[in-house]
Structures are given as structure tokens and as C-alpha cells.
Structure 1
């Protein structure tokens, strides 16, 4: 009886949250009460087209002449994005792409990626967003697992396609200058030129899409989304102040969940999206100044490189238009939180979530001002709780536990049939963390990153954050390596600031003076750059296997 009452209370609470979420959508301008017909059209579209095509169709109806995209080739209006994606969809249809068929897209951030995503939705094809950092074996294995039947890709990735069956249809989404193309190669531009731009008949159901996990511990898993509910948008806009008909610069990869999610919200609000195929810190400042960008979307490593630029370089560019910086994808150190406020003002939003869980918490600028590095609080329709190793709730403040999330955009399992651990309706994030006295979440690290050294538990992120406070350290990572006496010992990898030569013994003493003795690294290595993937996540396994140079 108690469990029935508990379930009933949960359902009532979730219904109440959903109603609050719909109200929040109206308040933020995602749905317009003055135009209920357009709201109905967009809702109906979402049932058959999926989010990428739905949002482009919506924006083209409401703001057809507004600039929807700016890339290295220039500007495209929302009307042009709509018409060109129609033509591409027709071209793919003629090449044999059918509803439900899986299309892989391997492309950097540019018009070809966004047009391809919208075209796939208009066909009812299933979209697999591939990681631009893939090696050939990874790419081939993921394509085989996801049953890919066509590939859309940039010319720089031609070599990866050697591993796929030659009969697979393929289309070039971007052609680099000087690249020689295979005989008979088809480009998106050719499909746009050769096909009718009128709308296609709507598919019977959305094809859905697959976002790959970061793959920091092995082959990336596929996280499918058949539909995206409006409540997923609420998770983004509840605690993040998006511009309306303003300008967003997205340098976080759009093939991953943060870049994709922020782009979709941006389109729903009629924003111009500025993208660049490759990240460069100074170029990003130039784009902010040139386009008078309201919001920047990045990963922490990118932001770190921006704030570490020489002050004379930063002063060349007017970034006063910037009202928000949204970061996600890897941990935000307290030091980076403070440095960002010094350089750009109180504009930083720290989004914590995952491919599977979507948004879990967001730290607003006022949160980071009092608690640098915090992951913040949950938005409407989300809830974060902690469980111990025995599956019991951790209620106390400042006590570390495993992070579990209830989301308004639930995850139904990986494409290989596996699933995340679930307790009482909450899904594991794979991280551990704690709540402070004010109820703000702090992520202490990955559950599987924990190092047991001499019987003591160490989360490397705490040591890394300390090392980053040093003025002679540009970047830092700590891993556990095998040790006969202690089982594991800590090894620190440090990227020095330019012109600096930290002393290993002095670094160890610095840690000893600030943390417990068992958290002091036994080894300190200096390297030029830490291994990270395209979303900025540290590849710890590469460091564990690192062989220091002889002598």
C-alpha cells in the first residue's frame, strides 16, 4: 500500500512539474500564446519530423527572412535552410534513402551538417551523429553496430570511408580546398541544384536520432532518441537565459548533445547561429566581436584557452555584447570559473548532464559567484539525488554519494541493448558528488575514476583543481597507475604555462601542504598537451598507458 501511495504522489508531482514546464516555455518565448496556430503546427510536426526538421520548419514559417546560420561560406536565412534541406531530402530519396533507414553524418560544424540533419528528419530517416575524432576502426565498428545504410561526410574524412562497403550511398557535406574527389562523387550543393525545393510529403513517423557517448573508456555507445518532448527544451531554458532573435556562437561540437540541444533551442527562439569548423581561441573572440554575439556555447577546455590568451590579444576584440557563456561536456574547475568572471564578467552558466540523462543541473552566474565550480541546481522536470553503494539515499549535506537523475526526457537504453543503473526511477550518471549547505551540487568525479591508493579513496578531480590554481600550470590531470606496495599510486601530468618550468618536488610539496598526504602524486610528468576528445573530455586511459621518455 505504501509503495502504491508513493507512486501516486510521484505521478502527481511529475504532472505538476510538466504543467509548470509548459508555462515556462510560454514565458521564455518558445511558444507564443498570440499565435496558437503556429504552436499547434510545431507540435504536430514534432510527431513526424523529429526536432531538427521541426525547428527549421517552424523558424522558416515565423522568420523566413531572418539569418539562421553564419559559417565560413556566409549567411543562410531560415527560408533558405528550409528550401535547401527540402532539395537535399529529395536528392537522398532518389539515391535510395528510405524512412527508417540509418544515415550516418560525419561532419564538422557548418551548413552541411545542419542541412543534412534537417533533410534526414524530412525523410523520416534515422540519424546517427558521428564523432569527428574517430579513427577508422572505431568508425567502421560503430557504423556496423548501428546498421548504417548511407553516409554524409566532409571531404577530410574520405579515408575513413575505405572501411565501409563500397555500395553504401555517400554524399559530401563539405569539400576542403584542394581536395581531389573520387570519380562520381556527389555533393550537397549538387543535390540542392538538381532537386525541387518544395516540401516533401510528411513521413509517417520520426526516424529519430542517435547521439554517441564520449567513448572515454572504450567504443562509444549509441544513445537513441526517437522523439524529443517539449520538456527537454524546458530543461535548457529554465535556468539559462537564451537570447531571442539574437545571435549565438556555438563552438561546442553539434554532433554531441550540448551543441545540438543549444542549437535547437536557439532556432526555436529565432536566433542566428554562428559556427566554425575548427576551434581557435582568438578566432572565437573575433567572431564574438564581428557578429555581436549574445551567447557563446563551448566546452571548458575551449573557454580555458580563451581566458588564458594574452591580455593584449583579448583587448583587440569587443566582447561586450556577450551576455551568456554556456559550458558543458567536462568538469568546470573553480579556477576557470573565477578567471571567466574576471575576463568576461558574471555571464557563465555551467550545465551538468550527459548524453543519456540530458540536463541534470545548471549553475547560473550568481551560483558560480558564491560557489565557483558548482554544477548548480536542477531545472523544472529534473531532480538529482545521491545514493550510497548499498542503494540507500544520502540525505546529509557535504557527504559524497553516487549521482542519480530523474529527467523529463527519459533515456530508454543504448542501441546495443544495455542500460544505465536505475534506482526508484532515478538513473545513474556514473558520477559521484555532494550537495553543499545551500543545496548546490558539486561533481567530485567519475565513479570509475576513483583511485584506491594504500586503502584510501582519491578522486583525481580534487587534486587537479588544486594544481590548476598554480600560476605556472596551464592544464593538469591525475591518474592512478599500478604500484606493488600501494596497489595504485597517483601520477600527475602537467602542461606548464608558456615560459614556466615547475619543479616536480615543489609541486608535490604544494599538494602536501593543501591536501591529505595520500593525495600527493608520487610521479609528476610535464607534457605539451593533455589527450582530450572533441567534446573536451580527458582521455585518462591514454595517460595510464603513457610511457615516459627514457632518461
Structure 2
């Protein structure tokens, strides 16, 4: 980043309320803690000093204020230090969203341990492979995942972050009990953390973050309005970059994180109403399920305080954006990014109305470019190419030694997209999702978005399957509404009337639900590709 970009980012942080340039003494101490702990633990400490009695989080067990969260983090950090692992050793956490996960994130940093945030959707073999690959020395976990823990060698210590009845292992509450709540000496430098990629095409990769710039909060909050000391319902899992990033920025503003260990559409509305939340962090499939509720349930909850819906994790259909905003107001901020690049661009509500399907513009310190297949930059609007991003939070490479392609300092996202006449970015689809049918390139996202516009379609996914004549043909999987006619030819005729003939699905399959991972992404490999009955 240039000095001018750094200055712009600092000024934006001041405007947003993340830092106060009028209190340089606070700035210096916060910068030191961030440089030696990393942002999550440092921000909890900062909020505990400035807003000790403000609510930090609420889960099924009640509410912790920032002082309590800070003190319990110190106690757990001391317990982790007592385990005598070498500095920067990796420990893993496999937990849903609740205080046990937050305490583990904060305490690991204070104890000088590197934390691997495990995906709760992993199969037992995948989990064991990731633990071995990341050299995890101990695992903290929710008791519901005991079956995954059984796949590990007995020599790996394990502790419970959440204990259901009959759980056998020692809990973190037991580890905390009797420990001093005073701070430990700060580590020389942060041990960092590892977030796993979604793993929709295979074993999730580890994306490490060792040193995160203190300007990173500006990157997320620049184009997304966060409340100050307000309530945020975090419905996206904290082990994923969407929930993790939004929660982190919220702490910089001393916000109250409402965490849901078990999530359904009504529980989200209930949490918004109960806590008068100004912000919801969600993935698109959650919005679909909210809108699918009986209107009487929707009317039951007062969501008038809601000002921002931070949506990321998978493509957001234009039709879904419009329907949600017609019901809840102009609140959707559609975030495009990835585990590797963080936030690449944000579509604000007015942009989504003006250019349906756009993912908006990049925030401060971020630059987006489109390149052709020969690595030449594309400057013309409405010309599809490969999307690359240069960001103020540089990617360190995967823990297995691999890295994304980089051109001119810009890193590949793995997507194809284009800019429109207004400079707004549009994503046309994943590079590896492209289907070549009869010599024509088809990106499933365009067909999926069109199908989602139908009143009798809840959601849809399109894949390519083998075809003896065309090489590949399109197969559409549709989740229909209850009153849908479920007529495949009607679907084909609808697409044929609006798109080129080679984009018409030859196969149309009606299913009850699409296979998704815990972050809401469709797992396309789990959709059947063989002959249909």
C-alpha cells in the first residue's frame, strides 16, 4: 500500500470510530498489543479498558461483558501455557459459535499459540488429515463432535469448549477455574491463526494469517456501516472468514456479538428482535430460509432496528437481494471476497438496485483487475476475464506450500468476471465451474440466477455432466416451492426464451434441498452426475 492509501485508511478508521486520532496514547498502546498479539485478543483488551461493562457476547449461557471476557481469556491463556507446548505450536478448535470458541481464539493468542479454526462440516477422515497436516498439538472441541475427535491418535490432548450431558473430557471451564485473571506478558510477536478454505472441491487448504495489519478493519468497514456499541447477530460461523472478520471489526467498535450455536431462520429473527440488533452477518441461504417462513412468523418479530445485512460466502442472486430488501428495507451489503484475499468488493444497496447482480466496488486499500487468459489486463467494460485482487492484507500462501497465481502484484481469486459501464464489478462464475457444451462456454451462475427469478423456484444449481454428442450438457437441480408444477419442459422452455440455446439445461431434476457446507456454499460434487432414472 502507498503512504497515501495508508493515510486514507487511518482517516476512514477515525471516521468510522475504530480509532480516535485525538487520543494518540490509546493508539500507541493498542498498536503495540496488535503487533504482539494479533487483532482479536488485542481488541478484546482495548474494549475491556475503554468499555469494561459493555456486553461483549451473548450465547445460550447468557452474556459476558468485555471485562469478563478479557479476564476469562487471561485465565484460559494461563491454563494453555501450563500445558508446556513450545511457543507458536498449533492448537485446533472445532466448535460452533459460543463463548468457548471466542475464549479459545483470544486465549491462544495470549498464550503464544497458533490457532487452527476447524470447519464443523469436515468428515472424520478429512478432520484427521487436516490435524496431521497442520501439526496440531491439542484440540479444543464441542462434545457433539466427539465422533471426529475419535479419529485422532490418543496422544493428542483434547478439551471441551462446550459439554453436553455425558461428555467425558475436561472442559475449558475446568481449565479456567483457579487460574489468575491478570494478563500474561505479551508475546514477542503474534503466533497467528489458520482459517480453512471451504473445501468444496476437496480437502480444505489452510490459509494462515500471522501478522494482520491494524488497517485491516478499514478494509471491511469502509463500505459497510457497522454499529458503534450496538448489537450484531453473527449467523455466519466464526471459523469462516466472513463471520470471523465481521466479529473482529465489531469488537473494534465495542459491539455486542449475539452468537447462535444452533441456527434456523426464526432464531435469527428472534435474536434481532430481542437484542434490537442493527446488523446481521449471514450467508445467502439464510436469507432464502428467512423469506420462506410463513408471513405470520415474519410479522411476529420486530426487526425495525436492522440497518445492515452483511452477506458473503457464496453468490447472492439478484432476485433474492430484491425480495429481501422489499421486505426488510435497503439493508443488504453484498460482499465479494475469499479466505485468501479477504474483502475484494462490496455492493451497497443502491448499487444492487441499479445494477442487479453486481458485487460493487473495492474498499479502501483494495484494487481489483480483470486479466485475459494470456495475462493481459482488460480495461474494456462488459469483457469477461479472470478476476485478480491486490489487497492491504497480503496472503501468506497455503500451509501446504502452494500459492495463488499472482500478476503485477494482483492475486487470482479463481473467478471470472467483468466491470460494467459504471465501474461496478460483476462475477460471472468460478473458473473451475465453467462448462464447455458443444464448443460453447457456459457459466452456471447466469442460468442459476435466471431460474431463481421464477416464483416456483426456491433455489437452483447447475452443473455439467457427460454427454456423448456435446461432450458436456447442463443439468439443473431445482428446489421447488410446494405449489410448483415440477414440469422439466416448462423449465427448459423458460430458459430457452431468455438465454442462448446452449445454456438450456437438457436435464432438470427436482430435489428437496441442495447439498451445502456449513458456510452455505453448494457442494457441487455431491450432486449426482450419472444417468437419470
**How many matched pairs?**
533
SS at match of 1:286: helix
| CA deviation map 1:274-323 (0-9, x unaligned) | 01012100111011000000000000111111122221110000000001
What residue is the counterpart of 2:455 in the other structure? 471
Query: Does residue 1:394 correspond to 2:348, yes or no?
Result: no
What residue is the counterpart of 1:212 in the other structure? 196
Q: Structure 2 residue aligned with 1:77, among 55, 65, 69?
A: 65
Query: Does residue 1:350 correspond to 2:350, yes or no?
Result: no
Q: Structure 1 residue aligned with 2:356, among 359, 369, 372?
A: 372
Q: Structure 2 residue aligned with 1:237, among 221, 225, 228?
A: 221
Q: Structure 1 residue aligned with 2:365, among 375, 378, 381?
A: 381
Contact 2:276-2:305 within 8 A present in 1 as well:
yes
SS at match of 1:381: coil
Shift of 1:547: 6.5
What residue is the counterpart of 1:427 in the other structure? 411
Alignment of 1:3-18 (within 5 A): 14-18=2-6
| CA deviation map 1:454-487 (0-9, x unaligned) | 0000000000000001111111000000111111
Cα distance change, pair 98–81 in 1 and its aligned pair in 2 (3 A): farther
SS at match of 2:43: helix
| CA deviation map 1:363-407 (0-9, x unaligned) | 111111212221000111001110000101111111111000000
Contact 1:348-1:365 within 8 A present in 2 as well:
yes
What residue is the counterpart of 2:167 in the other structure? 181
What residue is the counterpart of 1:503 in the other structure? 487
Contact 2:39-2:214 within 8 A present in 1 as well:
no
Q: Structure 1 residue aligned with 2:31, among 12, 36, 43?
A: 43
Query: Does residue 1:101 correspond to 2:89, yes or no?
Result: yes
C-alpha root-mean-square deviation of aligned residues, in Å?
Answer: 1.1
Q: Structure 2 residue aligned with 1:123, among 106, 111, 119?
A: 111
Query: Does residue 1:113 correspond to 2:97, yes or no?
Result: no
Q: Structure 2 residue aligned with 1:437, among 417, 421, 426?
A: 421
Cα distance change, pair 290–315 in 1 and its aligned pair in 2 (3 A): same
Contact 1:48-1:124 within 8 A present in 2 as well:
no
SS at match of 2:263: coil
Aligned partners of 1:419 and 1:406: how far apart in 2?
Answer: 14
What residue is the counterpart of 1:150 in the other structure? 138
What residue is the counterpart of 2:255 in the other structure? 271
Aligned partners of 1:263 and 1:221: how far apart in 2?
Answer: 22
SS at match of 1:537: coil
What residue is the counterpart of 1:6 in the other structure? none
Query: Does residue 1:328 correspond to 2:312, yes or no?
Result: yes
Contact 1:329-1:535 within 8 A present in 2 as well:
yes
Contact 1:480-1:544 within 8 A present in 2 as well:
no
Query: Does residue 1:455 correspond to 2:443, yes or no?
Result: no
SS at match of 1:419: coil
SS at match of 2:489: helix
Contact 1:329-1:536 within 8 A present in 2 as well:
yes
SS at match of 1:368: helix
Aligned partners of 2:13 and 2:91: how far apart in 1?
Answer: 31
SS at match of 1:230: coil
Contact 2:34-2:214 within 8 A present in 1 as well:
no
SS at match of 1:207: coil
Unaligned runs of 5+ in 2: none
Shift of 1:440: 0.6
Shift of 1:33: 2.2
| CA deviation map 1:402-448 (0-9, x unaligned) | 00000010102110000000011100000001111111111111011
Deviates more, 1:474-483 or 1:159-168: 159-168
Alignment of 1:312-323 (within 5 A): 312-323=296-307
Query: Does residue 1:21 correspond to 2:9, yes or no?
Result: yes
What residue is the counterpart of 2:501 in the other structure? 517
